Chains A and B, each alone.
Chain A
Amino acid sequence: MTQNQGTETDQTADPRRGTHRVTDERPWWDTFPWWGAIIASILLWMASQIATNEDYELAWDRIAPGLRLTVTATLQAFAIALVLGLIAGIGQLSRNVLLRNIARTYVEFIRGIPILPLIFTVALIVVPETTDLVNNRLNDWFGWEFKLSFQMRATVTLALIYGAYMAEIFRGGIQSIPPGQTEAGRSLGLTRRQTMNSVVLPQAMRAIIPPLGNDFIAILKDTSLLSVLGVLEITQRGRQFSASTFKFREGYFVVSFIYLVLTLSLSILLGVLERRMTRDRKGER
């Protein structure tokens, strides 16, 4: 009798035989995205609180108007950072020794300073002193003055910092393209710039877009730091509401709720974008 044909004996009695077949299928509860369900229910609960509870409603009415400022600052900082990052990223790979070292100095210098002290330094020291310097001349020559609001000062600081991060993203993306691509472009007679613009950068974008998306979300969250300069974005409004009403729970609940809704929708969007990009790449060597 072989053990595979154990029909006449009780199978479970044979210690060499289990009761289940080996499988690579996983039950639904193993693969179900519980985390998504948990976050969704938290958000729903928060939303229902805001909709039904008077205190939360009051907090919402006071804080939500800051949304506009938060979004504006995010978009502005991201746009400036993108330009800075692209220039500094390509600059680091430049053959020009001056350009390369300026780019590298910027990246290393800025990356080493935490955001908060840098915001203070730029807003309270760098901007006033340089505008003073510039304005003296402008006043003499044109009778005109240059002013930068605290909101813009903080936004520019954010852009400076994220520009340095993005420079590394761009540099990494460009360097991830095999040198054979550049060689092929140059062999055809394309100039360095043409090769960069038509051959390398379009391919590098695939490696660049996902981490840029992450930085976009990070900038959105970091606009909360504008509050230290008294800019009335949602965090600052939350602080003011809580401080004046002592309803800390309601205030910070609403602030967190708004950030969560924004960041989670952005990451879902990013996920879709990334999946589309990997789908297009299928079969590529």
Chain B
Amino acid sequence: MITLSGLTKTFDRTIHAVRDVDLHIDEGEVVVIVGPSGSGKSTILRCINLLEIPTGGTVLVDGFELTDTATDIDHVRAEVGMVFQQFNLFPHLTVMENITLAQRKVRGRSRAEAQDMAVRQLTRVGIPEKADAYPRQLSGGQQQRVAIARSLAMEPRVMLFDEPTSALDPEMVKEVLDVMLELAAEGMTMVVVTHEMGFARAAADHLVFIDEGEIVESGPPEEIFSNPTHERTRAFFDKILY
């Protein structure tokens, strides 16, 4: 589904955010990327829908080579959902309008079709009653769930999550993770950057530990948690796990 080969991203020619990363993600697989802040994990994720343009290497998504200028990136992005740390809901639109906007403009659905889909996705994330609210009237957890519903309404083939719970108050983390767990159980292909090790343990098929822009270690989460082979991995877990 997604194949990164030799992915490299350099900012301002001097800051090497990502160095020569190879990563393959199969359809239906859930990959969780962890690592210290500034390690380049978000940059890798953002390269998968070309929000960040790779300096080197290739990004193959659903058969499309993103680094090729012939690829219609808007077409690929419609198939790749993205959930942001800061939710990035459109504040001037209601929840319903947030979810129907791209459906109508990109998928060409009628208003009725789009609203129908929006209600279904809102029900899926557990807040169908908030359709007419504005984002500012919702809690952080609710906003993030709307953001997830907005992406799902496009019926993407892949979902990317960029630290989806990092901006949330602690009591709202679970409601968002529950939605993500359910999504994973339904077989959605997911790439998740997060600090929630509980989620990684419960949902990840594959855990990738990144440090200084490189993949240090990757494999089944249980294996890496219980028996990290690399010193940097061990040091990271020592810092974050009680």
Q: Which residues of A contact B (CB under 8 A)?
A: 178, 180-181, 183-191, 194, 198-199, 202-203, 283-285
Contact = CB atoms under 8 A, between A and B. Distances in A.
A189 B106 CA distance: 6
Contacts of A184: 82, 84, 88-90, 147
A243 to B, nearest CB: 53
Interface in B79-94: 79-82, 84, 86, 88-92
Main secondary structure of the interface of A (DSSP, over half): helix
Interface in B97-121: 101-102, 105-106
B43 to A, nearest CB: 13
Which 3 pairs across A and B sit closest by C-beta, in order of nearness? A189-B78, A188-B102, A184-B88
Interface size class of B (residues with CB under 8 A): 20 to 34
B90 A199 contact: yes
Contacts of B106: 188-190, 194
Contacts of A178: 86, 88
Contact of B101 (A188, A203, A285): A188
Contacts of B51: 183, 186-187
B84 A183 contact: yes
Contacts of A203: 90-92
B19 interface: no
Contacts of B154: 188-189
Given A283-B136, A283-B137, A284-B136, A186 B77 contact: yes
B150 A202 contact: no
Given A184-B82, A184-B88, A188-B151, 15 more contacts: A184-B84, A184-B90, A186-B74, A186-B77, A187-B77, A187-B80, A187-B81, A187-B151, A188-B150, A189-B102, A189-B106, A190-B101, A190-B105, A198-B105, A203-B92
A187 B91 contact: no
B24 interface: no
Given A188-B78, A189-B75, A194 B84 contact: no
Nearest to A199: B90
Interface string B138-180: 0000000001001100100000000000000000000000000
A22 B75 CA distance: 66
Contacts of A181: 88, 90
B189 interface: no
Contacts of B136: 283-285
Contacts of B82: 183-184, 187
12 contacts: A178-B86, A180-B84, A183-B84, A183-B88, A185-B90, A187-B82, A188-B101, A188-B102, A188-B154, A189-B79, A284-B136, A285-B91
A285 B77 CA distance: 27
